Amino acid sequence: MWVVNDERCSMAWWDLGPTWLAAAAVYFLPGLLVLVCAGVRRLPLAALAAPMSATLAGTAAVLLPFAGVPFTPLTYWLAAATAALAAVGARALWRRSRAYRPLVLGAQGPLPAADLGSVAAGAMVPLGIAVAALIIGYRFMNGFGSPEAFSQTFDNVYHLNAVRHIVATENGSTLTLGNLTAASKGLYPAAMHDMMALLVMLGAPSVMAAVNVGTIVMGAVVWPLGCVFLVSRIVGYRPIPLLIAGVLSSAFSAFPYLLVAFGVLYPNHAAVALLPAVLALAVEALGVSRTPPTSPVAPVIALAAVLPGLALTHPSTIPALAAFAAPAIINRTVLVWVEVREGTAKRRAAVGWMIGTAVYALVSLALWIVLRPNLSTAGWTSFQSNARAIGEILSSAPMGTTIAWVLLPLTVIGLYVCARQLRRYAWVAGMFGVGAILYLVVSSWSNGAFRDFVTGIWYTDSYRLAALLPLVTLPVVVLGGEWLIWRLRWVVGTALHRLGEKRLPQLQRLPERTTAAVGVAAVLAMGVAAQGGTLSGVQERLRTIFATTPASGILSTDEVALLREVPAYVPEDGVVVGNPRTGASLVYAFSDRTALAPHIFGVRTPDEQLLFDHWGEAAYNPAVCPAIERLNAYWALDFGDKEITPRAEPLSGVRDLADGSAPGVELVHSVGQARLFRVTACD
């Protein structure tokens, strides 16, 4: 039941138990199965499960139509089982090979107990991830308000209908998702929509609930897992910094919240959530991780396995990956030359790395050019000074959000640590610099060819590049946080020792783990302190964007109520005419009835354009009824003249039906000013 007075659905989040279980089965289980069969274990297994599942879903959706097989949960899991069997076979063949060497991915062995104790040390990684998941999940649920809430923004017309389209057609191919009609088939990254559509097929109560659950899973679980895995490649498998990484992955307003509170940019959001784990693999493959692998084969294979999922979720993350990995490959090349001078490496290896770096630069440049979208619709311009942009970068407060006072000093200290340990962390600082430059250029540099070239992949949109900043800032923050925690522990330990010498000798017998406990408490305190003004502000923005009111941007209270009742008046095979710019085309997502134009953009067939311009003239325009009969488009929604994105195209065929000036058209049902009509002139 819908509650009209506050525009929220009475369904509670705990009513979605089966959908949460379905999300685990869709987002993690297939990837876990394949990775386990490939021999991956521990943290890499958990962090790479979702990226691997994205690859399986996106590629299966592309390939199945060529075999005439529908895209369903069953075929998705069969594809995963097939990939798992292939992994088992490949592993068996490798074991029998004369060149056999164990392929190890990620750190092995237990977490070092340090002075925490083995049990406590082993709990740090799951504790950090759990804290982040609870905080991020709570903020999303509080911001959405209801499982059935939806973003009242322009892009959501497409995203919600795309999920419904995949469910209805059992075809989620990136090659054809396009603008959701036969006349507008074309490329659109579909992996995120595919996984959300699977949730609907598995019984999610609505498209909106599936989208919200999928968004929360990506932001609250996949993102922290990837962040911890990335930081483990930088600092090693040590408990305190990994705890910091998990806890503070929830401290940024720019991600995972900003792309959902703006746009709404669901595919970008999902792809950025996957990016840390993929970047971690690139770091390990390049040999600059804290504990370099004995062989780059395992991370290279894993990287090749998850890249398709990243690209099919949103291709803009591929150039981002290339840009962020560039400092690592440069750092590795420089280190090899240093090793040559020290006599620990051969000159041939250094030359090989130089050639590889040059090839990498050329390939990255090609990606930068080829993946660039048409900028004719990119209307975002710079809006601030360089000084302000730099301040926003250092304070993790992009797009005018409140300064993150906890993150600001940790970022500065982290950069100091990078400078002090340049040989080890130069590439970490370089990665931060790349993200900073991208945001600086897009938000504060003059509009022109250079700005378009550097940031055109992201439509010169500051929000999209702001969302990448947490990925490159978090490692720096972790280094600063670890430095601070060790100094705090030293101060506490020294104070206890001196106090024991003077007054309380028993304090000298306190185990070292006492100061370790102080460090853990300090990390958790930092996490709590970071949940301040900037995050409260972005959460309130979510509440505003996801609220349905009598004057909402896409659908008003009355219009939502009418859409819920459309199935009682329109048969399952009926097609509904409606101006997509008024939100009427969301009849597809909400009512499971085909919209004549499920997206605001797209190519119209002659019949479709005729009905958009003349549907209400059926009684006296001889061309209209034949088109209505061919398309079975006897119904129309009139949601008034307010449009989310006004355009020159008039679409006047369904306007002003309510004034009675259209003969041969009857009012079927209405809720307030929202009306459903049926043409009778063609009976």
Domain count, the chain: 3
Could you give the percent of the chain with pLDDT greater than 90?
65
Q: What is the pLDDT of residues 20-68, one digit of tens each?
A: 999 999 999 999 999 999 999 999 999 999 999 999 999 999 999 999 9
136 and 149 in a single domain? The answer is yes
User: What pLDDT is recorded for position 649?
Assistant: 64
Tell me the H-state helices in 118-204: 118-144, 156-169, 191-201
Closest CA to 599 of 171, 262, 211, 182: 182
Q: What is the pLDDT of residues 567-618, one digit of tens each?
A: 999 999 999 999 888 999 999 999 999 999 999 888 889 999 999 989 988 8
Radius of gyration of the chain (CA): 27
431 and 469 in a single domain? The answer is yes
Q: Which H/E stretch holds residue 357?
A: helix 347-370
278 and 355 in a single domain? The answer is no
Q: Is residue 519 part of a domain?
A: no
Give the mean pLDDT of 213-234.
97
Could you give the percent of the chain with pLDDT greater than 70?
90
573 and 613 in a single domain? The answer is yes
Per-residue tokens: 449: 């060819």
Q: Is residue 521 part of a domain?
A: no
Q: Is residue 52 part of a domain?
A: yes
242 and 358 in a single domain? The answer is no
Tell me the H-state helices in 577-638: 587-591, 606-614, 624-631
Q: Is residue 494 part of a domain?
A: no
Per-residue tokens: 609: 């354009």
376 and 274 in a single domain? The answer is yes
Task: Please state the separation of Cα 114 from the chain's center in Å.
Answer: 35
If you search the block for the tokens 């998850």, which residue do you land on? 306
Q: Is residue 487 part of a domain?
A: no
Distance CA 194, CA 141 (A): 22
**DSSP assigned state of 385:** -
Q: Band of the pLDDT at 110, cuts 50, 70, 90?
A: low
Number of neighbours of residue 183 by Cβ within 10 angstroms: 13
Q: Is residue 25 part of a domain?
A: yes
Inter-residue contact 80 to 86 (CB < 8 Å)? no
The answer, yes or no, to whether residue 230 has pLDDT greater than 90, is yes
Distance CA 487, CA 480 (A): 11
Q: Which of 4-8, 74-78, 667-671 has the lowest average pLDDT? A: 4-8
Give the mean pLDDT of 182-194.
90
User: What pLDDT is recorded for position 510?
Assistant: 55
Per-residue tokens: 238: 């040590």
User: What pLDDT is recorded for position 96?
Assistant: 84
Q: What is the pLDDT of residues 331-386, one digit of tens each?
A: 999 988 888 888 877 888 889 999 999 999 999 999 898 888 877 766 788 889 99
28 and 89 in a single domain? The answer is yes
Top-confidence residue, 477 or 665: 477
37 and 181 in a single domain? The answer is yes
User: What pLDDT is recorded for position 114?
Assistant: 60
| Domain-terminating residue out of 460, 475, 490 | 475
307 and 335 in a single domain? The answer is no
Q: What is the pLDDT of residues 274-316, one digit of tens each?
A: 999 999 999 999 989 887 777 788 999 999 999 999 999 999 9
The CA distances from residue 465 to 222, 228, 505, 650, in Å, are 20, 21, 56, 35
335 and 443 in a single domain? The answer is no
Per-residue tokens: 553: 């941007």
199 and 307 in a single domain? The answer is yes
395 and 361 in a single domain? The answer is no
Range(s) of the domain holding residue 164: 2-316+371-475
Inter-residue contact 173 to 188 (CB < 8 Å)? no
Closest CA to 51 of 320, 313, 284, 334: 313
| Domain-terminating residue out of 348, 370, 392 | 370
User: What pLDDT is recorded for position 350?
Assistant: 87
Q: Band of the pLDDT at 6, cuts 50, 70, 90?
A: very low
User: What pLDDT is recorded for position 501?
Assistant: 55
Q: Band of the pLDDT at 502, cuts 50, 70, 90?
A: low
Q: Is residue 499 part of a domain?
A: no
The answer, yes or no, to whether residue 488 has pLDDT greater than 70, is yes
| Domain-terminating residue out of 475, 490, 507 | 475
Closest CA to 566 of 551, 553, 555, 552: 555
Q: Is residue 460 part of a domain?
A: yes
Q: What angle do CA 565, 567, 573 make, to 5 degrees?
A: 155
Distance CA 225, CA 166 (A): 28
